[in-house]
């Protein structure tokens, strides 16, 4: 069933979007000659350009559709993923971790691990990141095809292949520079195309106060219902939110995931690199005004018998409402011809921004941290650029393959946070010790990271295969502080355990294994890295100044919605 019918002007807007992004790739090809150009965008971007791309790389299908639908299930609690689950980590990256990253002139996050530790841990992280990126990329394509097939009646295969070919074209032509510039275009398209949905929804309900009026207590607040797992829809306590999301998953993603950190590497100098995530943090805090507000509007309309608003049933489970259709159904409700084309283009931009981020990160990690490190160490710069272009095409094809695999899963959204808990959560413990404790050894870091990843994955498998036994034996209570934890609660706690095991093993083994000398750690560890001199920089241009403002805004938002 086709829910949204596109007019001629809607199609013109969509076609112009595809022409524009491929045109950007063709134009920027002339500036993409060296490996530094292709993989790092020449390291000449301002903090604003890098910051918008930094956030846009995170604005994929899961971000926009997933959390709009998630709001219908969990309420205001979804804002935790934007505020406590992002902003502290983004500020920490800019203030404390970026000097180590940027000053070492690395091309990737695994590249830092090679310099700080050794080749073993670089390869472990590169391979696990490449696999994770392809899985996420495939899920992104799958969800895009699923939405547009259901909402617009587009052919399943056409939906995936048109997007895949467009992304492959502009990244192959212009590399990271193309990805960054198209991500900036996509960022503004997302705001222009989707913010009006929330505004019109609030107006229909009678104002901001009416959006929250009548919501169940456990859906309208952030912190006041987290004293007990039974008092909120996520079945999680404040400890799970603070430790599992606010610390482990958040810091693990925003400070170590190369998909987003790569954008900061493209900055023209260290100060711009430090400002990149801090600049992005202000826009990140504003995103709930699209995602959460739209989700709450959809919830209110769904529960009003006279509204005529109804979600679609899930294609893989006809007895279950498909929450991810909330935003497209609101577009169909509020937008006239022309604006519908803009709204659909904004959704396309969201899908493709996330996809472009995955592919550009994958081609850099493969080329520098696997191909050059293991297969062809003496590759020329020109050969590496050629390999990067080839890897872009291969990565897109593999993503399409994983998308067809993802079609077979009924609860694909449940695995997204789980994937991050397996890889990013323990990796953050490795980075934390490696950057701030020079006694951390290479052997300890390698063994600790493996133990942390195995711990997190084992807990996931344990609940999947032996859920009833975990509950009856008390293991569920021990691991999650809840006798009947939700899927989200388990993800938060398995991430916490994975981080804790990695931290403990790495810390303990470092005392009985040999560390690197101070000379080998220059520029890589706190205390052995020159401090940034900002004495000549006006206060308004300092990263610390803007980070302090972001922190104040964050506290104010959490107190207001307490």
| 376 and 256 part of one domain | yes
pLDDT tens digits, residue range 445-470? 999 999 999 999 999 899 888 888 88
CB 353 within 8 A of CB 132: no
| 371 and 454 part of one domain | no
Band (25; pLDDT cuts 50, 70, 90): low
| 392 and 509 part of one domain | no
| 204 and 223 part of one domain | yes
| 507 and 543 part of one domain | no
| 398 and 504 part of one domain | no
For position 181, what pLDDT does the model report?
A: 64
pLDDT tens digits, residue range 336-369? 887 888 887 777 777 776 676 677 778 777 887 7
Residue 400 lies in a domain: yes
CB 222 within 8 A of CB 77: yes
Residue 292 has pLDDT above 70, yes or no: yes
| 329 and 478 part of one domain | no
CA distance 306 to 327: 19
CA distance 241 to 222: 10
Residue 490 lies in a domain: yes
Residue 33 has pLDDT above 70, yes or no: no
Band (176; pLDDT cuts 50, 70, 90): low
For position 42, what pLDDT does the model report?
A: 45
CA distance 70 to 68: 5
For the ranges 170-174, 397-401, 508-512, the maximum mean pLDDT occurs at 508-512
Residue 261 has pLDDT above 90, yes or no: no
**Domain count of the fold of the chain:** 2
For residues 177-199, average pLDDT? 74
| 391 and 538 part of one domain | yes
Write out the residue range of the structural domain in which residue 16 sits.
8-410+532-560
Band (515; pLDDT cuts 50, 70, 90): very high
For position 505, what pLDDT does the model report?
A: 97
CA distance 206 to 298: 14
Band (39; pLDDT cuts 50, 70, 90): very low
Residue 2 lies in a domain: no
For position 500, what pLDDT does the model report?
A: 94
For residues 262-269, average pLDDT? 73
Residue 1 lies in a domain: no
Residue 41 has pLDDT above 70, yes or no: no
Give 390's contacts (C-beta < 8 A, 6+ positions apart): none
Angle subtended at Cα 191 by Cα 336 and Cα 108, rounded to the nearest 5 degrees: 140
Residue 3 lies in a domain: no
CA distance 202 to 321: 23
Residue 260 lies in a domain: yes
The whole-model pTM stands at 0.80
Q: Which residue has the higher pLDDT, 185 or 548?
A: 548
Give 467's contacts (C-beta < 8 A, 6+ positions apart): none
For the ranges 304-313, 349-358, 512-521, the maximum mean pLDDT occurs at 512-521
For position 221, what pLDDT does the model report?
A: 80
For residues 239-246, average pLDDT? 85
For residues 145-149, average pLDDT? 71
For position 433, what pLDDT does the model report?
A: 94
| 231 and 259 part of one domain | yes
Residue 421 lies in a domain: yes
pLDDT tens digits, residue range 68-106? 888 888 888 888 888 998 899 999 988 888 887 776 666
H or E segment at 200?
Answer: helix 156-205
Residue 487 lies in a domain: yes
For position 197, what pLDDT does the model report?
A: 87
Please state, in angstroms and as integers, the Cα–Cα distance from residue 14 to each residue in 19, 188, 190, 193, 547, following that order. Answer: 9, 15, 13, 12, 38
For position 316, what pLDDT does the model report?
A: 64
For position 474, what pLDDT does the model report?
A: 84
Q: What is the DSSP string of 367-424?
A: IIIIIIIII-TT--HHHHHHHHHHHHHHHHHHHHHHHHHHTT-S-GGGGHHHHHHHHH
| 57 and 182 part of one domain | yes
Band (37; pLDDT cuts 50, 70, 90): very low
| 99 and 176 part of one domain | yes
For position 401, what pLDDT does the model report?
A: 81
For residues 519-523, average pLDDT? 86
The helix-helix angle for 416-436 and 442-472 (nearest 10°) equals 140
How far does CA 454 lie from the centroid of its chain? 22
Please state, in angstroms and as integers, the Cα–Cα distance from residue 243 to each residue in 237, 246, 249, 375, 422, following that order. Answer: 10, 6, 8, 40, 16
Q: Which residue has the higher pLDDT, 191 or 250?
A: 250
For residues 522-545, average pLDDT? 77
| 252 and 380 part of one domain | yes
For position 142, what pLDDT does the model report?
A: 76
For residues 549-559, average pLDDT? 93
For residues 308-317, average pLDDT? 72
CA distance 315 to 325: 11
For position 45, what pLDDT does the model report?
A: 61
Question: The domain that contains 98 carries what CATH number?
Answer: 1.20.1730.10
Lowest mean pLDDT among 140-144, 246-250, 280-284, 556-560: 140-144
> If you search the block for the tokens 């000549």, which residue do you land on?
536
């Amino acid at each position: 069933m086709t829910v949204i019918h596109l007019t001629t002007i809607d199609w013109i807007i969509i076609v112009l979007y595809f022409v524009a992004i491929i045109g950007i790739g063709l134009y920027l090809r002339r500036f993409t000659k060296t490996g530094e150009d292709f993989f790092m965008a020449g390291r000449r971007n301002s903090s604003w350009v890098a910051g918008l791309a930094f956030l846009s790389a995170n604005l994929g299908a899961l971000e926009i559709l997933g959390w709009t639908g998630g709001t219908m299930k969990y309420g205001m609690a979804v804002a935790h993923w934007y505020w406590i689950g992002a902003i502290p980590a983004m500020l920490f990256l800019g203030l404390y971790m970026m000097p180590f990253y940027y000053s070492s002139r690395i091309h990737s996050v695994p590249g830092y691990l090679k310099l700080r530790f050794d080749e073993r841990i670089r390869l472990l992280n590169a391979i696990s990141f490449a696999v994770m990126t392809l899985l996420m990329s495939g899920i992104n394509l799958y969800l895009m095809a699923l939405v547009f097939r259901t909402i617009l009646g587009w052919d399943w295969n056409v939906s995936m292949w048109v997007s895949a070919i467009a992304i492959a074209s502009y990244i192959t032509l212009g590399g990271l520079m193309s990805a960054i510039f198209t991500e900036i275009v996509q960022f503004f398209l997302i705001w222009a195309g989707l913010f009006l949905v929330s505004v019109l929804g609030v107006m229909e309900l009678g104002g901001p106060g009416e959006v929250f009026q009548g919501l169940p207590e456990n859906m309208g607040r952030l912190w006041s219902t987290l004293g007990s797992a039974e008092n909120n829809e996520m079945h999680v306590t404040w400890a799970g939110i603070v430790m599992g999301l606010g610390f482990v998953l958040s810091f693990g993603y925003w400070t170590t995931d190369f998909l987003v950190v790569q954008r900061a590497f493209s900055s023209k100098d260290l100060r711009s690199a430090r400002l990149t995530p801090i600049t992005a943090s202000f826009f990140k805090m504003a995103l709930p005004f699209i995602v959460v507000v739209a989700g709450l509007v959809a919830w209110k309309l769904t529960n009003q018998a006279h509204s005529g608003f109804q979600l679609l049933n899930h294609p893989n489970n006809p007895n279950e409402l498909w929450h991810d259709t909330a935003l497209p159904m609101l577009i169909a409700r509020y937008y006239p011809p022309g604006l519908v084309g803009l709204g659909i283009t904004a959704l396309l931009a969201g899908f493709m921004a996330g996809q472009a981020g995955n592919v550009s990160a994958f081609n850099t990690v493969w080329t520098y941290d696997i191909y050059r490190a293991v297969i062809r160490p003496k590759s020329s710069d020109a050969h590496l650029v050629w390999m990067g272009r080839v890897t872009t095409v291969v990565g897109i094809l593999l993503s399409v393959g994983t998308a067809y695999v993802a079609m077979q899963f009924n609860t694909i959204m449940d695995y997204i946070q789980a994937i991050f808990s397996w890889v990013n959560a323990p990796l953050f413990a490795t980075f934390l010790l490696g950057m701030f404790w020079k006694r951390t050894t290479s052997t300890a870091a390698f063994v600790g990271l493996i133990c942390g990843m195995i711990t997190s994955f084992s807990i996931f498998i344990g609940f999947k295969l032996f859920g009833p036994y975990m509950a009856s034996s008390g293991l569920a209570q021990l691991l999650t502080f809840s006798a009947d934890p939700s899927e989200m609660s388990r993800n938060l706690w398995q991430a916490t355990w994975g981080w804790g095991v990695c931290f403990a093993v790495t810390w303990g083994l470092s005392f009985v294994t040999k560390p690197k000398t101070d000379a080998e750690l220059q520029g890589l560890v706190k205390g052995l890295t020159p401090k940034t001199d900002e004495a000549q920089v006006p206060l308004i241009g300092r990263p610390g100044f803007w980070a302090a403002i972001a922190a104040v805004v964050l506290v104010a938002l959490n107190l207001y919605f307490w």
